[in-house]
Amino acid sequence: MTEQNFIQKLKEGKQSAFSQLLDDYQQKVFSTCISFVPNKEDAEDIAQEVFLEVFKSISKFKGNSKLSTWIYRIATNKCLEFIRKKNTKKRFAFMQSIMGNEIPFDKTNYFTEFKHPGILLENKEKSETIFRAINTLPESQKVIFTLAKIDGKSYQEIVEITGRSLSSVESIMFRAKKSLKEKLANFYKDDNI
């Protein structure tokens, strides 16, 4: 079945097409989500939201990009939305604790579980340190670095997912690598970030 036929079956609401979509993309979407949000339960929740959005919005899909690109774009946006909400909640709780309210500030480590299938590092501490450093990057650098180095997307795929030009992606990636090398100087002395 061609991609056009498959998309048409999705738009018609065919159950077999939705089952095929889940079979084809469930693990890939989860891997993208856990690349941005290295906590299994949160990544699973976000992946579910991605598929709900795909099912809800498939009728609006115009076919200007590949279906996979559209799905990765939704996954990336859902992950960034989750991170923004989580950071806003942390700032709000911190401000409440300063102002004297009795709402306790959650000081638990967000990176409680780190089992990303695409990264095999010597120990959990180094993994957490790297992901904390990635999380401090500006959003554009975080997105491009994560898609390229953790999800293994090509620059051309990143261009399609983010809507940026190739030169912009290359420039942002250069800045992200430089920034991470500075941040991780004590933990990562290899040139291959």
Residue reference for tokens 């949160």: 42
* pLDDT at residue 183 in the model: 84
- Mean pLDDT to the nearest integer, 2-7: 90
**How confident is the model at residue 89, as a pLDDT?**
60
**Is the CB of residue 150 less than 8 Å from the CB of residue 116?**
yes
* 162-182 pLDDT tens trace: 889 999 999 999 999 999 888
Look at residue 37 in the predicted model and tell me its pLDDT: 87
The amino acid sitting at 126 is K
Domain spans of the chain?
Answer: 1-112, 119-193
What's the pLDDT tens digit per position in 51-106? 999 999 999 998 888 999 999 999 999 998 998 887 666 555 544 444 444 444 34
Q: What is the mean pLDDT of residues 177-189?
A: 78
Compute the mean pLDDT over every residue in the chain, rounded to the nearest whole number: 80
pTM (two decimals): 0.66
Residue 29 has a CB neighbour count (10 Å cut-off) of 25
Share of the chain above pLDDT 70, in %: 75
CATH fold of the domain at 1-112: Rna Polymerase Sigma Factor; Chain: A (1.10.1740)
Note the pLDDT of residue 124.
60
CA distance 172 to 166: 10
pLDDT digits (tens, 9 = 90+) for 17-63: 999 999 999 999 999 998 888 888 999 999 999 999 999 999 999 88
Q: What's the CATH number for 119-193?
A: 1.10.10.10
- Residue 172 DSSP SS3: helix
Residue recorded with tokens 């990009």:
65
Residue length of the chain? 193
Write the CB contacts of 166 (distance below 8 Å, at least 6 apart in sequence). Answer: 155, 156, 159
pLDDT of 117-171, one tens digit each?
Answer: 554 444 566 667 778 888 888 989 999 998 898 888 899 989 988 889 999 999 9
CB burial of residue 179 (10 Å; 0-12, 13-18, 19+): middle
